[in-house]
C-alpha cells in the first residue's frame, strides 16, 4: 500500500489520471483499515473526523494512530446503538440516507467500516457524505462486495436464513450483541469497475484510491473449501480483476473550492 493517499497535483481523478488501485490479501486490507484512515487524517491535516455507522463499536484508538488531537464524532441512525458506545464521545443520531443531507460541511474526514452494504440507497448515502465534508475533505469507506460468494448469498438469501447461518458459524454475531447482523443491501458496493467509479463521480467525488481485498475467511470450518478459496485467492492476486473483489476500501475526496 502507498505511504500516503493524499494526492499531489495532477493525480486526482477528473484530471485525466486514474485512481491508484491495488490488490492485496483480504487480511491485509482488514488489518490495515485503521492505519489507512489515520494516514488520511494525518496527511490531509484533518481535525474534525466523523465515523459513520460507528454505533456501539466506534474506533477508539484513532487519535493515538494519528498522533495528534482530533475531534471525533460518531454518527449512526440508531440511538440505541449510540447509547452502547462510550459516554464521553460526541455523537449524532442521523439518517445518512435522508432525502435532505442531515449534516453540512462539518467534517474534514469521514469514514465507515462495514456500513455501506447496509444503507438503503448508495446514491443518497454518498451524496450526504459529500455534503457532510468541507471542501477538500476526504471520505474512506471499507465494505464487502457481492462479487464474493458469501456476500452474494447474503444478498440473495432471506434475512432469517442468512442470520441463522451467520450465527451458526460466528456465534459472536448473534442478534442483540454488539456485533449483530443488520440487513444487507449492497447498494453501490462493488470494486473499482468503470461503473462504480462513475457512481462516485456522479455525486461530485474524486476517486483518489481503491484497495481491493482478495479472499475471505468464511470457510474456516470447512477445510476443503478453505483450501480451494486460498488457491483461488493466490491465483487472483496474480491475475487481479475488480469482479472478484471480496472487500473494498475506497478513498474519495470532495474537491476544494
Q: For the domain made up of 20-253, give the CATH fold.
A: Rossmann fold (3.40.50)
**Model confidence pLDDT, tens digit, residues 142-182:** 999 999 888 888 877 766 655 555 555 545 545 554 445 56
- DSSP assignment of 216-233: -STTTT-HHHHHHHHHHH
Does the pLDDT of residue 132 top 90, yes or no?
yes
Residue-level pLDDT at 45: 97
Among 188, 191, 198, 183, residue whose Cα is nearest residue 147: 191
Helices (H) and strands (E) in the chain, counts: 9, 8
Residue-level pLDDT at 184: 86
What does the mean pLDDT of the chain come to?
88
Residue-level pLDDT at 2: 41
pTM given for the model: 0.86
Residue-level pLDDT at 153: 85
Question: Where do the structural domains in the chain lie, given as residue ranges?
Answer: 20-253
**Model confidence pLDDT, tens digit, residues 174-198:** 555 444 556 889 999 999 999 999 9
Does the pLDDT of residue 129 top 60, yes or no?
yes
Q: State the DSSP code for 13.
A: B
Q: CB within 8 A of 202, min separation 6: which ones?
A: 123
Amino acid at each position: 500500500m502507498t505511504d500516503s493517499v493524499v494526492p499531489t497535483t495532477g493525480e486526482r481523478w477528473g484530471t485525466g489520471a486514474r485512481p491508484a488501485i491495488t490488490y492485496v490479501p483480504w487480511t491485509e486490507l482488514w488489518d490495515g483499515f485503521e492505519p489507512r484512515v489515520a494516514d488520511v487524517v494525518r496527511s490531509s491535516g484533518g481535525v474534525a473526523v466523523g465515523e459513520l455507522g460507528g454505533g456501539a463499536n466506534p474506533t477508539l484508538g484513532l487519535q493515538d494512530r494519528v498522533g495528534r488531537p482530533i475531534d471525533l464524532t460518531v454518527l449512526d441512525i440508531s440511538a440505541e446503538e449510540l447509547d452502547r458506545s462510550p459516554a464521553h464521545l460526541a455523537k449524532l443520531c442521523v439518517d445518512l440516507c435522508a432525502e435532505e443531507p442531515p449534516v453540512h460541511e462539518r467534517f474534514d474526514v469521514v469514514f465507515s467500516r462495514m456500513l455501506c452494504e447496509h444503507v438503503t440507497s448508495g446514491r443518497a448515502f454518498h451524496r450526504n457524505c459529500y455534503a457532510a465534508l468541507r471542501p477538500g475533505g476526504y471520505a474512506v469507506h471499507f465494505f464487502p462486495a457481492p462479487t464474493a460468494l458469501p456476500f452474494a448469498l447474503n444478498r440473495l438469501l432471506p434475512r432469517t436464513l442468512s442470520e441463522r447461518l451467520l450465527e451458526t458459524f460466528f456465534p459472536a454475531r448473534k442478534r442483540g450483541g454488539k456485533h449483530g447482523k443488520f440487513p444487507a443491501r449492497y447498494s453501490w458496493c462493488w470494486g473499482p469497475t468503470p461503473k462504480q467509479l462513475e457512481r462516485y463521480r456522479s455525486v461530485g467525488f474524486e476517486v483518489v484510491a481503491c484497495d481491493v481485498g482478495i479472499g475471505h475467511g468464511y470457510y474456516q470450518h470447512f477445510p476443503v473449501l478453505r483450501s480451494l478459496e486460498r488457491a483461488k485467492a493466490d491465483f487472483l492476486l496474480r491475475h487481479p480483476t475488480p469482479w472478484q473483489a471480496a472487500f473494498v476500501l475506497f478513498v474519495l475526496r470532495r474537491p476544494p473550492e
